[in-house]
Amino acid sequence: MNNFELFKFRQAGLNNLNIHKILKYQETVQGKLSIRDMAVVSECKNPVLFLENYKKLDLQNCREIFNKFPSFSILDNIYPIELKQMYNLPVLLFY
């Protein structure tokens, strides 16, 4: 998973806690999850709506928005250790 994937999850309606659940589950499974599995694992309020929003994403537009600002995520080595101590830490940070 990469930062752009995390951004797409946010654009499709998942919140930080939902994305954390996906990342935690992926660590234990060691395999690629389908988007449907991610909707279930995330425990989002409306998985069907998330799936519809995700499939409707305009990837070119998302990429343009994403590339406007540099970013890093909890998956990157430069993520501040202090932030990792927080509850519901930000999954993706732009600067």
pLDDT digits (tens, 9 = 90+) for 35-82: 999 999 999 999 999 999 999 999 999 999 999 999 999 999 999 888
Model pLDDT, residue 25: 92
DSSP code of residue 32: P
Q: Cα dihedral sign for 13, 17, 21, 23?
A: positive
pLDDT at 7 over 90: yes
Tell me, what DSSP letter sits at residue 93?
E
Are 73 and 91 contacting, i.e. CB atoms less than 8 angstroms apart? yes
pLDDT at 29: 85
Whole-number Å distance between alpha carbons of 9 and 51? 10
Q: Environment class of residue 12 by beta-carbon count within 10 Å: exposed (0-12), middle (13-18) or buried (19+)?
A: buried
Q: What are the angstrom distances between the C-alpha of 30 and each of 12, 27, 39? A: 24, 6, 17
- Reading phi first (left if > 0) and then psi (alpha if -120 to 50, else beta), residue 34 is in beta
What's the pTM value of the predicted model, to 2 decimals? Answer: 0.89
Predicted pLDDT at 30: 76
Q: Find the mean pLDDT for residues 8-22.
A: 95
